[in-house]
Protein backbone atom coordinates (compact mmCIF):
# COMPACT_ATOMS: atom_id res chain seq x y z
CA UNK A 1 0.00 0.00 0.00
CA UNK A 2 2.84 2.34 0.91
CA UNK A 3 4.56 1.60 -2.43
CA UNK A 4 1.37 2.37 -4.37
CA UNK A 5 1.04 5.69 -2.53
CA UNK A 6 4.65 6.63 -3.37
CA UNK A 7 4.10 5.74 -7.03
CA UNK A 8 0.93 7.86 -7.06
CA UNK A 9 2.75 10.87 -5.57
CA UNK A 10 5.58 10.49 -8.08
CA UNK A 11 3.06 10.35 -10.92
CA UNK A 12 1.29 13.51 -9.76
CA UNK A 13 4.64 15.30 -9.41
CA UNK A 14 5.61 14.20 -12.91
CA UNK A 15 2.34 15.47 -14.36
CA UNK A 16 2.67 18.83 -12.62
CA UNK A 17 6.26 19.18 -13.81
CA UNK A 18 5.24 18.33 -17.35
CA UNK A 19 2.39 20.87 -17.24
CA UNK A 20 4.73 23.61 -16.04
CA UNK A 21 7.40 22.72 -18.58
CA UNK A 22 4.96 22.66 -21.48
CA UNK A 23 3.46 26.07 -20.84
CA UNK A 24 4.04 28.55 -23.69
CA UNK A 25 7.08 30.78 -23.18
CA UNK A 26 7.41 33.85 -25.41
CA UNK A 27 10.53 35.95 -25.96
CA UNK A 28 9.92 39.44 -27.37
CA UNK A 29 12.25 41.11 -29.91
CA UNK A 30 11.71 44.90 -29.84
CA UNK A 31 12.02 46.72 -33.17
CA UNK A 32 14.26 49.66 -32.28
CA UNK A 33 16.19 48.27 -29.31
CA UNK A 34 17.43 45.42 -31.50
CA UNK A 35 17.54 47.25 -34.82
CA UNK A 36 21.28 46.96 -35.44
CA UNK A 37 21.67 43.61 -33.68
CA UNK A 38 19.03 41.97 -35.87
CA UNK A 39 20.26 43.44 -39.14
CA UNK A 40 22.53 40.45 -39.78
CA UNK A 41 21.38 36.94 -40.68
CA UNK A 42 23.94 35.16 -38.50
CA UNK A 43 22.93 37.32 -35.53
CA UNK A 44 19.24 36.46 -35.98
CA UNK A 45 20.07 32.75 -36.18
CA UNK A 46 22.28 32.96 -33.10
CA UNK A 47 19.67 34.57 -30.88
CA UNK A 48 16.87 32.32 -32.09
CA UNK A 49 19.02 29.30 -31.24
CA UNK A 50 19.65 30.78 -27.79
CA UNK A 51 15.89 31.18 -27.31
CA UNK A 52 15.29 27.58 -28.31
CA UNK A 53 18.05 26.26 -26.04
CA UNK A 54 16.64 28.15 -23.07
CA UNK A 55 13.23 26.55 -23.52
CA UNK A 56 11.21 29.26 -25.24
CA UNK A 57 8.41 27.91 -27.40
CA UNK A 58 7.55 31.15 -29.21
CA UNK A 59 9.14 34.42 -30.26
CA UNK A 60 7.45 37.78 -30.85
CA UNK A 61 8.83 40.01 -33.58
CA UNK A 62 8.03 43.72 -33.29
CA UNK A 63 7.54 45.12 -36.80
CA UNK A 64 5.92 48.50 -36.14
CA UNK A 65 7.51 50.59 -33.39
CA UNK A 66 5.95 53.68 -31.84
CA UNK A 67 7.09 55.99 -34.65
CA UNK A 68 4.47 54.47 -36.96
CA UNK A 69 7.16 53.19 -39.31
CA UNK A 70 7.39 49.50 -40.22
CA UNK A 71 10.32 47.13 -40.77
CA UNK A 72 9.26 45.89 -44.20
CA UNK A 73 8.11 47.30 -47.51
CA UNK A 74 4.59 48.66 -47.15
CA UNK A 75 2.05 50.53 -49.25
CA UNK A 76 0.57 52.18 -46.17
CA UNK A 77 3.39 53.01 -43.74
CA UNK A 78 6.92 54.37 -44.21
CA UNK A 79 9.73 51.85 -43.86
CA UNK A 80 12.23 52.30 -41.03
CA UNK A 81 15.58 52.10 -42.80
CA UNK A 82 17.63 53.74 -40.08
CA UNK A 83 17.66 53.91 -36.30
CA UNK A 84 20.16 55.62 -34.02
CA UNK A 85 22.44 56.31 -36.97
CA UNK A 86 22.56 52.72 -38.22
CA UNK A 87 21.23 51.89 -41.69
CA UNK A 88 19.84 48.43 -42.45
CA UNK A 89 20.31 46.87 -45.88
CA UNK A 90 17.17 47.92 -47.74
CA UNK A 91 17.15 44.68 -49.75
CA UNK A 92 17.04 42.48 -46.66
CA UNK A 93 13.55 40.99 -46.15
CA UNK A 94 13.90 40.97 -42.38
CA UNK A 95 10.55 39.37 -41.39
CA UNK A 96 10.79 36.61 -44.03
CA UNK A 97 14.23 35.50 -42.83
CA UNK A 98 13.20 35.70 -39.17
CA UNK A 99 10.11 33.55 -39.81
CA UNK A 100 12.11 30.96 -41.76
CA UNK A 101 14.82 30.63 -39.10
CA UNK A 102 12.32 30.43 -36.24
CA UNK A 103 10.34 27.68 -37.94
CA UNK A 104 13.52 25.71 -38.72
CA UNK A 105 14.12 25.57 -34.98
CA UNK A 106 10.56 24.56 -34.19
CA UNK A 107 9.70 27.94 -32.68
CA UNK A 108 6.33 29.57 -33.26
CA UNK A 109 6.59 33.20 -34.31
CA UNK A 110 4.13 36.06 -33.82
CA UNK A 111 4.22 39.48 -35.44
CA UNK A 112 3.72 42.43 -33.10
CA UNK A 113 2.72 45.98 -34.01
CA UNK A 114 2.10 49.14 -32.02
CA UNK A 115 -1.31 50.41 -33.09
CA UNK A 116 -2.58 53.76 -31.77
CA UNK A 117 0.76 55.55 -31.71
CA UNK A 118 2.61 57.35 -34.50
CA UNK A 119 5.52 59.23 -33.02
CA UNK A 120 8.45 59.17 -30.61
CA UNK A 121 8.39 62.33 -28.50
CA UNK A 122 12.00 61.99 -27.36
CA UNK A 123 13.22 62.16 -30.97
CA UNK A 124 10.43 64.21 -32.59
CA UNK A 125 10.15 61.39 -35.10
CA UNK A 126 7.16 59.70 -36.66
CA UNK A 127 3.99 60.25 -38.66
CA UNK A 128 2.50 62.83 -36.28
CA UNK A 129 5.67 64.89 -36.76
CA UNK A 130 5.26 64.73 -40.53
CA UNK A 131 1.92 65.08 -42.29
CA UNK A 132 -0.35 63.40 -39.73
CA UNK A 133 -0.34 65.89 -36.87
CA UNK A 134 -4.15 65.83 -36.85
CA UNK A 135 -3.99 62.18 -35.78
CA UNK A 136 -2.36 62.93 -32.43
CA UNK A 137 -4.13 62.73 -29.12
CA UNK A 138 -5.35 65.97 -27.54
CA UNK A 139 -5.01 65.65 -23.78
CA UNK A 140 -7.09 67.62 -21.28
CA UNK A 141 -4.40 68.37 -18.72
CA UNK A 142 -4.37 70.70 -15.72
CA UNK A 143 -2.83 73.22 -18.14
CA UNK A 144 -5.65 72.93 -20.66
CA UNK A 145 -5.97 71.09 -23.97
CA UNK A 146 -2.51 70.05 -25.12
CA UNK A 147 -1.41 68.06 -28.22
CA UNK A 148 0.56 65.04 -27.07
CA UNK A 149 3.62 66.04 -29.10
CA UNK A 150 4.01 68.92 -26.64
CA UNK A 151 3.95 66.61 -23.62
CA UNK A 152 7.61 65.69 -23.68
CA UNK A 153 7.51 63.61 -20.49
CA UNK A 154 5.57 61.06 -22.56
CA UNK A 155 7.74 59.16 -25.03
CA UNK A 156 4.83 57.67 -27.03
CA UNK A 157 3.01 60.17 -29.24
CA UNK A 158 -0.34 58.42 -29.08
CA UNK A 159 -3.07 58.94 -31.65
CA UNK A 160 -6.84 59.29 -31.25
CA UNK A 161 -8.34 55.77 -31.44
CA UNK A 162 -11.78 57.18 -32.29
CA UNK A 163 -10.56 58.94 -35.42
CA UNK A 164 -11.88 56.97 -38.44
CA UNK A 165 -8.86 57.99 -40.51
CA UNK A 166 -6.50 56.61 -37.87
CA UNK A 167 -8.50 53.40 -37.58
CA UNK A 168 -8.57 52.87 -41.34
CA UNK A 169 -4.81 53.36 -41.56
CA UNK A 170 -4.11 50.85 -38.81
CA UNK A 171 -6.53 48.29 -40.26
CA UNK A 172 -4.83 48.61 -43.65
CA UNK A 173 -1.43 48.04 -42.05
CA UNK A 174 -2.72 44.99 -40.16
CA UNK A 175 -4.38 43.47 -43.21
CA UNK A 176 -1.33 44.08 -45.38
CA UNK A 177 1.04 42.52 -42.83
CA UNK A 178 -0.85 39.22 -42.52
CA UNK A 179 -1.28 39.12 -46.31
CA UNK A 180 2.40 39.77 -46.97
CA UNK A 181 3.66 37.25 -44.40
CA UNK A 182 1.09 34.42 -44.08
CA UNK A 183 3.68 32.20 -42.39
CA UNK A 184 3.32 34.06 -39.09
CA UNK A 185 1.69 31.87 -36.44
CA UNK A 186 0.06 34.81 -34.69
CA UNK A 187 -0.46 38.55 -34.56
CA UNK A 188 -0.13 40.43 -31.26
CA UNK A 189 -1.45 44.01 -31.18
CA UNK A 190 0.14 46.41 -28.72
CA UNK A 191 -0.98 49.89 -27.65
CA UNK A 192 -4.57 49.39 -28.75
CA UNK A 193 -5.55 52.02 -26.24
CA UNK A 194 -5.83 55.67 -25.35
CA UNK A 195 -2.86 57.57 -23.97
CA UNK A 196 -4.46 57.87 -20.55
CA UNK A 197 -7.39 59.30 -18.62
CA UNK A 198 -6.71 62.76 -20.14
CA UNK A 199 -7.16 61.54 -23.73
CA UNK A 200 -8.70 62.23 -26.19
CA UNK A 201 -10.47 65.60 -26.02
CA UNK A 202 -10.31 66.65 -29.65
CA UNK A 203 -13.50 68.20 -31.11
CA UNK A 204 -13.97 64.98 -33.10
CA UNK A 205 -14.05 62.85 -29.95
CA UNK A 206 -16.56 65.16 -28.26
CA UNK A 207 -18.86 64.98 -31.29
CA UNK A 208 -18.63 61.19 -31.43
CA UNK A 209 -19.35 60.97 -27.71
CA UNK A 210 -22.44 63.15 -28.14
CA UNK A 211 -23.71 60.72 -30.78
CA UNK A 212 -23.09 57.83 -28.38
CA UNK A 213 -25.22 59.61 -25.80
CA UNK A 214 -28.02 60.16 -28.33
CA UNK A 215 -27.04 63.63 -29.57
CA UNK A 216 -27.16 65.16 -26.09
CA UNK A 217 -25.56 68.57 -25.70
CA UNK A 218 -22.76 68.38 -23.17
CA UNK A 219 -19.97 70.55 -21.88
CA UNK A 220 -16.43 69.33 -21.23
CA UNK A 221 -17.13 69.85 -17.53
CA UNK A 222 -19.80 67.17 -17.80
CA UNK A 223 -16.93 64.71 -18.32
CA UNK A 224 -14.49 66.26 -15.86
CA UNK A 225 -12.95 69.57 -14.91
CA UNK A 226 -9.84 70.79 -13.15
CA UNK A 227 -9.98 72.82 -9.95
CA UNK A 228 -7.73 73.68 -7.05
CA UNK A 229 -8.10 71.95 -3.70
CA UNK A 230 -7.58 73.53 -0.31
CA UNK A 231 -3.80 73.09 -0.67
CA UNK A 232 -3.78 74.91 -4.01
CA UNK A 233 -3.07 71.74 -5.98
CA UNK A 234 -5.04 71.14 -9.19
CA UNK A 235 -7.30 68.10 -9.00
CA UNK A 236 -9.66 66.46 -11.45
CA UNK A 237 -13.39 66.53 -10.59
CA UNK A 238 -15.57 63.99 -12.37
CA UNK A 239 -18.72 65.22 -14.09
CA UNK A 240 -22.16 63.74 -14.74
CA UNK A 241 -21.08 61.81 -17.83
CA UNK A 242 -17.65 60.69 -16.69
CA UNK A 243 -18.60 57.01 -16.38
CA UNK A 244 -20.41 57.05 -19.72
CA UNK A 245 -17.25 58.60 -21.20
CA UNK A 246 -15.26 55.64 -19.89
CA UNK A 247 -17.86 53.28 -21.32
CA UNK A 248 -17.79 54.99 -24.73
CA UNK A 249 -13.99 54.83 -24.95
CA UNK A 250 -14.09 51.11 -24.12
CA UNK A 251 -16.65 50.68 -26.93
CA UNK A 252 -14.27 52.40 -29.37
CA UNK A 253 -11.48 49.96 -28.56
CA UNK A 254 -13.81 46.95 -28.57
CA UNK A 255 -15.24 47.80 -31.99
CA UNK A 256 -11.77 48.32 -33.41
CA UNK A 257 -10.60 44.96 -32.09
CA UNK A 258 -13.65 43.26 -33.54
CA UNK A 259 -13.02 44.79 -36.97
CA UNK A 260 -9.29 44.04 -36.80
CA UNK A 261 -9.97 40.37 -36.10
CA UNK A 262 -12.45 40.20 -38.98
CA UNK A 263 -9.88 41.69 -41.36
CA UNK A 264 -7.17 39.31 -40.16
CA UNK A 265 -9.32 36.20 -40.39
CA UNK A 266 -10.57 37.14 -43.85
CA UNK A 267 -6.98 37.09 -45.07
CA UNK A 268 -5.67 34.19 -42.99
CA UNK A 269 -8.15 32.14 -40.92
CA UNK A 270 -5.29 30.13 -39.39
CA UNK A 271 -3.30 32.95 -37.81
CA UNK A 272 -3.86 33.54 -34.08
CA UNK A 273 -5.34 36.93 -33.24
CA UNK A 274 -4.11 38.43 -30.02
CA UNK A 275 -3.02 41.41 -27.99
CA UNK A 276 -0.84 42.58 -25.15
CA UNK A 277 -2.06 44.77 -22.29
CA UNK A 278 -0.83 45.67 -18.84
CA UNK A 279 -2.23 43.55 -16.04
CA UNK A 280 -3.54 46.27 -13.71
CA UNK A 281 -7.23 45.88 -14.57
CA UNK A 282 -8.64 47.89 -11.62
CA UNK A 283 -7.20 51.11 -13.11
CA UNK A 284 -6.90 50.13 -16.77
CA UNK A 285 -10.12 51.95 -17.56
CA UNK A 286 -7.90 55.04 -17.64
CA UNK A 287 -6.55 53.96 -21.04
CA UNK A 288 -9.99 53.05 -22.37
CA UNK A 289 -9.60 49.29 -22.50
CA UNK A 290 -11.75 46.46 -21.17
CA UNK A 291 -9.73 43.32 -21.82
CA UNK A 292 -11.88 41.17 -19.57
CA UNK A 293 -14.41 38.52 -20.50
CA UNK A 294 -17.93 39.79 -21.21
CA UNK A 295 -19.01 37.36 -18.51
CA UNK A 296 -17.19 39.49 -15.96
CA UNK A 297 -19.13 42.48 -14.64
CA UNK A 298 -16.70 45.10 -13.27
CA UNK A 299 -19.59 47.29 -12.05
CA UNK A 300 -19.99 44.84 -9.17
CA UNK A 301 -16.41 45.42 -8.03
CA UNK A 302 -15.52 48.97 -9.13
CA UNK A 303 -17.39 52.25 -8.86
CA UNK A 304 -16.00 53.58 -12.15
CA UNK A 305 -17.79 50.94 -14.26
CA UNK A 306 -21.33 51.24 -15.59
CA UNK A 307 -23.52 48.12 -15.91
CA UNK A 308 -22.97 48.30 -19.69
CA UNK A 309 -19.17 48.48 -19.43
CA UNK A 310 -18.99 44.68 -19.52
CA UNK A 311 -20.45 44.64 -23.05
CA UNK A 312 -17.11 45.90 -24.30
CA UNK A 313 -14.93 43.22 -22.78
CA UNK A 314 -12.96 41.73 -25.65
CA UNK A 315 -11.37 38.58 -24.19
CA UNK A 316 -13.66 36.38 -26.27
CA UNK A 317 -12.24 37.95 -29.44
CA UNK A 318 -8.72 36.80 -28.58
CA UNK A 319 -6.82 33.62 -29.34
CA UNK A 320 -3.53 34.63 -27.75
CA UNK A 321 -3.16 37.05 -24.84
CA UNK A 322 -0.18 38.20 -22.85
CA UNK A 323 -0.42 40.62 -19.94
CA UNK A 324 2.33 42.69 -18.36
CA UNK A 325 2.77 41.80 -14.70
CA UNK A 326 5.31 44.61 -14.67
CA UNK A 327 6.30 44.95 -11.05
CA UNK A 328 9.54 44.61 -9.12
CA UNK A 329 7.62 43.17 -6.17
CA UNK A 330 6.98 39.48 -6.83
CA UNK A 331 4.62 38.56 -4.00
CA UNK A 332 1.65 40.31 -2.44
CA UNK A 333 3.48 40.30 0.88
CA UNK A 334 6.33 42.35 -0.60
CA UNK A 335 3.87 45.09 -1.56
CA UNK A 336 2.55 45.26 2.00
CA UNK A 337 6.08 45.89 3.28
CA UNK A 338 6.73 48.85 0.95
CA UNK A 339 7.25 52.28 2.44
CA UNK A 340 5.07 54.97 0.87
CA UNK A 341 8.09 56.93 -0.35
CA UNK A 342 9.33 53.89 -2.29
CA UNK A 343 6.27 53.78 -4.54
CA UNK A 344 6.78 55.30 -7.97
CA UNK A 345 4.51 54.21 -10.81
CA UNK A 346 5.05 55.74 -14.24
CA UNK A 347 3.32 53.34 -16.63
CA UNK A 348 0.07 54.23 -18.40
CA UNK A 349 -2.97 53.55 -16.29
CA UNK A 350 -1.04 53.20 -13.04
CA UNK A 351 -1.33 55.17 -9.83
CA UNK A 352 0.60 55.33 -6.59
CA UNK A 353 -0.76 52.55 -4.46
CA UNK A 354 0.11 49.65 -2.20
CA UNK A 355 -2.75 47.45 -3.38
CA UNK A 356 -1.82 43.77 -3.45
CA UNK A 357 -2.22 43.52 -7.21
CA UNK A 358 0.78 45.81 -7.71
CA UNK A 359 2.93 42.69 -7.67
CA UNK A 360 3.61 39.87 -10.11
CA UNK A 361 1.53 37.51 -8.01
CA UNK A 362 -1.38 39.88 -7.42
CA UNK A 363 -1.63 41.17 -10.98
CA UNK A 364 -1.54 37.62 -12.33
CA UNK A 365 -4.44 36.72 -10.04
CA UNK A 366 -6.43 39.77 -11.18
CA UNK A 367 -5.85 38.89 -14.83
CA UNK A 368 -6.97 35.31 -14.38
CA UNK A 369 -10.03 36.46 -12.45
CA UNK A 370 -11.37 38.87 -15.08
CA UNK A 371 -10.48 36.75 -18.13
CA UNK A 372 -12.64 33.97 -16.61
CA UNK A 373 -11.02 31.18 -18.67
CA UNK A 374 -11.99 32.81 -21.98
CA UNK A 375 -8.46 31.90 -23.08
CA UNK A 376 -5.04 31.26 -21.49
CA UNK A 377 -3.29 34.19 -19.81
CA UNK A 378 0.45 34.47 -20.43
CA UNK A 379 2.12 36.50 -17.69
CA UNK A 380 4.68 39.02 -18.94
CA UNK A 381 7.78 40.50 -17.29
CA UNK A 382 9.71 43.68 -18.08
CA UNK A 383 13.34 42.66 -17.58
CA UNK A 384 14.70 46.18 -17.01
CA UNK A 385 12.68 46.49 -13.80
CA UNK A 386 15.01 43.92 -12.22
CA UNK A 387 18.30 45.55 -13.22
CA UNK A 388 20.89 44.66 -10.59
CA UNK A 389 18.58 42.07 -9.03
CA UNK A 390 18.84 38.82 -11.00
CA UNK A 391 17.51 36.77 -8.09
CA UNK A 392 14.30 38.85 -8.09
CA UNK A 393 13.93 38.33 -11.83
CA UNK A 394 14.31 34.59 -11.37
CA UNK A 395 11.60 34.61 -8.70
CA UNK A 396 9.32 36.66 -10.94
CA UNK A 397 9.69 34.14 -13.77
CA UNK A 398 8.74 31.31 -11.46
CA UNK A 399 5.75 33.26 -10.16
CA UNK A 400 4.45 33.90 -13.69
CA UNK A 401 4.71 30.24 -14.54
CA UNK A 402 2.99 29.29 -11.30
CA UNK A 403 0.14 31.81 -11.43
CA UNK A 404 -0.57 32.09 -15.17
CA UNK A 405 -0.76 29.84 -18.21
CA UNK A 406 2.61 30.81 -19.61
CA UNK A 407 5.36 33.41 -19.78
CA UNK A 408 6.36 36.40 -21.89
CA UNK A 409 9.75 38.07 -21.51
CA UNK A 410 10.21 41.69 -22.66
CA UNK A 411 12.78 42.16 -24.03
CA UNK A 412 15.75 40.13 -25.29
CA UNK A 413 17.87 43.30 -25.40
CA UNK A 414 18.00 43.39 -21.59
CA UNK A 415 18.94 39.72 -21.38
CA UNK A 416 21.79 40.41 -23.79
CA UNK A 417 22.94 43.56 -22.00
CA UNK A 418 22.83 42.00 -18.53
CA UNK A 419 24.14 38.57 -19.61
CA UNK A 420 21.19 36.92 -17.87
CA UNK A 421 20.95 33.75 -19.96
CA UNK A 422 21.61 31.51 -16.95
CA UNK A 423 19.15 33.48 -14.81
CA UNK A 424 16.46 32.95 -17.44
CA UNK A 425 17.27 29.26 -17.66
CA UNK A 426 17.06 28.76 -13.90
CA UNK A 427 13.78 30.63 -13.64
CA UNK A 428 12.15 28.81 -16.53
CA UNK A 429 13.32 25.34 -15.50
Span 414-424, average pLDDT: 98
The model's pLDDT over 81-104, given as tens digits with 9 standing for 90+, comes to 999 999 999 999 999 999 999 999
Pairwise CA distance, residues 203 & 216, whole Å: 15
Q: What's residue 3's pLDDT?
A: 45
Whole-prediction pTM value? 0.93
Instruction: Show the DSSP H helices in 105-185 as ranges.
Output: 164-180
The model's pLDDT over 19-57, given as tens digits with 9 standing for 90+, comes to 346 899 999 999 999 999 999 999 999 999 999 999 999
Specify the 3-state DSSP secondary structure of 401.
Answer: helix
Q: What's residue 314's pLDDT?
A: 98
Specify the 3-state DSSP secondary structure of 112.
Answer: strand
Q: What's residue 11's pLDDT?
A: 42
The model's pLDDT over 379-392, given as tens digits with 9 standing for 90+, comes to 999 999 999 999 99
Cβ atoms within 10 Å, residue 228: 10
Hey, which bits of 168-271 come out as E strands?
Answer: 186-190, 224-228, 234-238
How far does Cα 278 stand from its chain's mean position? 6
- 25-137+152-196+243-428 CATH fold: TIM Barrel (3.20.20)
Pairwise CA distance, residues 190 & 115, whole Å: 6
Q: Name residues whose C-beta falls within 8 Å of residue 372's C-beta, 6 or more positions apart in sequence.
A: 292, 293, 295, 296, 315
Where do the structural domains in the chain lie, given as residue ranges? 25-137+152-196+243-428
Amino acid sequence: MKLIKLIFIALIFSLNLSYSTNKPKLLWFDATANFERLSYKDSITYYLKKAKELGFTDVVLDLKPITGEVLYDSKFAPKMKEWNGFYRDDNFDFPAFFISEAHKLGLKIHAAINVFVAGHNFFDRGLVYQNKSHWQSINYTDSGFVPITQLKHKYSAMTNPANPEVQNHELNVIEELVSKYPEFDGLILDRVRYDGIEADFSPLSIELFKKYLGEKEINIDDIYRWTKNEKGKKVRIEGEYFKKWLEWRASVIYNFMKEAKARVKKVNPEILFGTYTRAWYPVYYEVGVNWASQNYDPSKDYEWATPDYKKYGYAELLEIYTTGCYFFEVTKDEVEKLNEEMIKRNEAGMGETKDYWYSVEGSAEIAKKVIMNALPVLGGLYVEQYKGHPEQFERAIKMCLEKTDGLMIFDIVHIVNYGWWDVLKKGMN
